[in-house]
Amino acid sequence: MAWRETLDPYRIWVSEIMLQQTRVETVAPYYERFLLEFPDVGSLARASLDDVLKAWEGLGYYSRARNLHKTAGILVARHGARVPRTVEALLALPGIGRSTAGAIAAIAFGADAPILDANARRVVARLFAVEGDPRSGRVERVLWERSASLVRKGKGRDTALAVMDLGAVVCLPNAPRCRECPLRSCCSSCLRGLQDSIPPKRAKKMIPHHDVVAAVFRRTDGAMFLMRRPSDGLLGGLWAFPSGKRDPGESLEDALRRSLREKLRVRAVLQSEVGAVRHAYSHYRITLHGFLCEMSGGALPAGEGTGWLPGHGEGTFALPRADRMLVEFIHREEGR
C-alpha cells in the first residue's frame, strides 16, 4: 500500500478519504493517479472541481472529492497549505469525521489518537467482546473508550496502523483468522468462542431497482449532450445525460418524454433505444436505458451546466458510472 510508505500528511489525508467505504484494491490505482495530478495541497486547491471529479470518476461517494477540493482551499487560506496536526483542527474540516481525524493525526503526526473506522470497530468489538450493534450510540461510545485504551503513550501511529492491518488482513468480517492472530491469547471473543457473532450480522436490506431513461442528443460530429448534476445531491457535480426515473406502469418512452418536458421544457422525438446498462450504486440498482433523441419543440439549454461530450468519449467530463457505461456501449455498437 503506497500510502504506508509515506509520512506526508497530504498523502495520508488523501488516502484516508479514499479509503472511506472503499476497498484497498480499488483505491490503489486512484491514489497513484490522483497524486500525480495533484501532488500537494496547493495544486489541489488550484484545480477546478471538474478536474478533481474527473480524477475521482468511478471511485464513488463523490462528496468525498468535493470535500477534498473544498478543504484544500481552506488549508491554503487558513493553514498555510498544510494539513493541521490536531484532531480538533482536523475535525473542523469538511469530510473529516472523528475516526478519519484520529487516523490522520496518529499516522501523519504520531498523535495518541484512537480510530474507529469500520475495520477498527470490528477488531475492537471482538477484542473486548462488546456485544450489540456497533453503530448504535451506546455501543459506539464503549468502542471509542476501548479503542482509546489500546493506545500506549507515544505509540499512536503504531496502534492505528496495527488495528487497521489486523482488521484488513486477519480479523476479517466473515471468517476471522484467529489461529494466525497475534492477539488470540488476549482476545475476549476468541477465548469465549464469540468471534463469529460479534459484531452481530446485519439483516440484508432489499436493494431497490429503478428503470431510468436517458436522452442521447447527438450533434453531427457525434458529440453527446450532457448536463451537470446539482452539486449538493447524489453524484453531485458530475455530468450526465438528461434522464428521469420511470414511474410504475409508465412506458420507458413516456417516462423520457415526461422527464424532458418537466426538466428541460423541451419536446423530443425518440428515435431508437441505443442501449441499456445495469449498475449497482451503494443503496440502489438501476437499469439505464438510453434513447437517441431529436428535438421537436423548444431548444436544449446552453451555457453554464451544459456541455457536449466529444464523439470519442474523452474530455474533462466526469460521468456517473452508469452514464459512462452507456457511452462505452454506444461506442462499442458503433465499432469504435
Q: Which of 181, 216, 293, 327 binds ligand SF4 (CB under 6 A)?
A: 181
Among 15, 119, 195, 243, binds ligand SF4 (CB under 6 A): 195
**Measured from the CB of residue 194, what is the shortest distance to ligand SF4 in angstroms?**
8
Other beta carbons within 10 Å of 191: 13
Q: Residues 16, 131, 328, 333: which is the catalytic one?
A: 16
Binding residues among 111-170 for ligand SF4 as defined by CB under 6 A = 123, 126-127, 170
Work out how close the CB of 102 gets to ligand SF4 at its nearest, in angstroms, rounded to a whole number.
19
Instruction: Please state, as a whole number, how many other Cβ atoms lie within 10 Å of the Cβ of residue 269.
Output: 12
- The residue type of 41 is V
Least CB distance from residue 188 to ligand SF4, whole Å? Answer: 8
- The yes or no reply on residue 238 touching ligand SF4 (CB under 6 A) is no
Name the residue type at position 224: M
Start-to-end CA distance of the chain, whole Å, equals 36
Q: What is the distance between the alpha carbons of residues 139 and 125, in angstroms, rounded to a whole number?
A: 9
Residue 196 beta carbon to ligand SF4: minimum distance, rounded to whole angstroms: 9
Active site residue 32: no
Does 41 bind ligand SF4 (CB under 6 A)? Our answer is no
> In the complex with ligand SF4, which residue's Cβ is closer, 76 or 183?
183
DSSP string, 226-292: EEEPPTTSTTTT-EE-SEEEPPTT--HHHHHHHHIIIII--EEEEEEEEEEEEEE-SS-EEEEEEEE
* Residue 314 exposed, middle or buried by CB count within 10 Å (0-12, 13-18, 19+): exposed
Of 183-191, 215-223, 270-278, 286-294: span binding ligand SF4 (CB under 6 A): 183-191
Residue 276's beta-bridge partner residues?
A: 289
Is 244 one of the binding residues for ligand SF4 (CB under 6 A)? no
Residues marked active site are found at 16
Residues at the site binding ligand SF4, with contacts judged by CB under 6 A: 123, 126-127, 170-171, 176-178, 181, 183-184, 187, 189-190, 195
